[in-house]
Structure 1
Amino acid sequence: ATLRGIMPVLVIPLIASAVVGFLMFIVVGKPIAALQSALTDWLNGLSGSNAVILGVVLGLMMCFDMGGPLNKVAYAFAVGGLADPTDGSLKVMAAVMAAGMVPPLAMALATTVRKKLFTKTERENGRAAWVLGASFITEGAIPFAAADPLRVIPSVMAGGAVTGALSMAFGCTLRAPHGGIFVVPLIGEPFLYLLAIAAGTLVATALVVLLKGARRTVTAPAPEAGAEVTG
């Protein structure tokens, strides 16, 4: 009887945690670690003369899963370069942070300029996304991506790619691993850096509004046959 009482609160959770942990470490963990290592090697290969292409790739990675594995690989790649900073590694850090700010800022702007395309909850999340985006908290866009991934994710990826490319092309640098606009004094070419963020945010916002507006037009009910049409 005693064992039966502790089974659901102690034994079963303990066994389940052990099984899941084993599966994550052996079945899932090693392939993910290998993939991350391969991605890091590939990113290292893009450094140097392919700076703008590297900026595009990092921007896409930062905005694809917004805090997930690809985002973390790009961020870890950038932060790792700060251990032995060079001009190239500082440019990478700048591009990564700039691109990571785009998704929440774009969602904040989209919910401001086209409120009717979003629910009340999304509009409230949009107000918070201004602060999250400015603080380089990419996860601020996750509620929007979860609700409409096919329109939000490609849009913010495009915006992030633009920002990453422009940041690298402008030669912007960053010596801090985090902080958003609050570390502007540590940014090389700060005005061009903010311009890159603004450009990517506008691109992402325009695409989100366009795609959501197109969906709304397609799904709008057609008027019934014989209904009176008023001019």
Structure 2
Amino acid sequence: MIDSNLSLAVLIGFGPDGWGWALLAGAVLTLAVALAAMAIGAVLGGVLAAMAASRRPRLMRLAATYGLVLRGVPELLVVLLLYFGTPESMAAVAALLGLSAPGSPPAFLTGSIAIGLVSAAYQAEVFRGGMLAVPPGQIEAAMAAGMGPATRLRRVILPQVLHHVLPPLGNIWQFNLKDSALVSITGLAELMRVSLVAAGSTRRPFVFFAAAMALYLVMTSASSALFRLLERRGTRWARR
């Protein structure tokens, strides 16, 4: 137990009694979880958007059902289901195959997948909307001009899709960044978990929760600035 009478500068500093390095490491891990979840959501969301636009009833119903379920349940429930349900399911499968039960998957992997699955439900709608925003006449004109699929994608479809999807993707990224705090229940030492441990060890909860809040605000503000820059560049690209 660290002395609760230590000064604020010492507690959040980078000295032997400070939690500065631990908080920064937690912030980096928070970003890693959010990035992994965003990547998982982008891949799966792209697949779901293609299914929804396929005009095949079964694929369209499957994509719609996925979105309905994952957007309709709390993110925390998805994290809990994967974190506690995956080892049980893996043990049951191993028992059927006559194998020894494997250990629990890493908390980072479980948390990233859980947040990514929810993110995919929202990204799918964003991608689908972006594809629908491209006028069919422009694609037909590009084909009439002799453009191949790769050229059409690069010069006609992608610039317009990016122009429409970047703003909502920025919002989804912010949600992923904040939802990463839910992974703290798995014991992963991301920012929220570190602040909880530090608050309990020092009996100074306000100090460390305020420090965590400041770090979250830095990350979200920097992310907003980055997406605004990308939106401006995407707008110039779309006008070419």
Q: Could you state the TM-score of these two structures normalised by the residue count of structure 1?
A: 0.29
Relative contact order higher in (CA < 8 Å, ≥ 6 apart): 2
Q: Could you state the TM-score of these two structures normalised by the residue count of structure 2?
A: 0.28
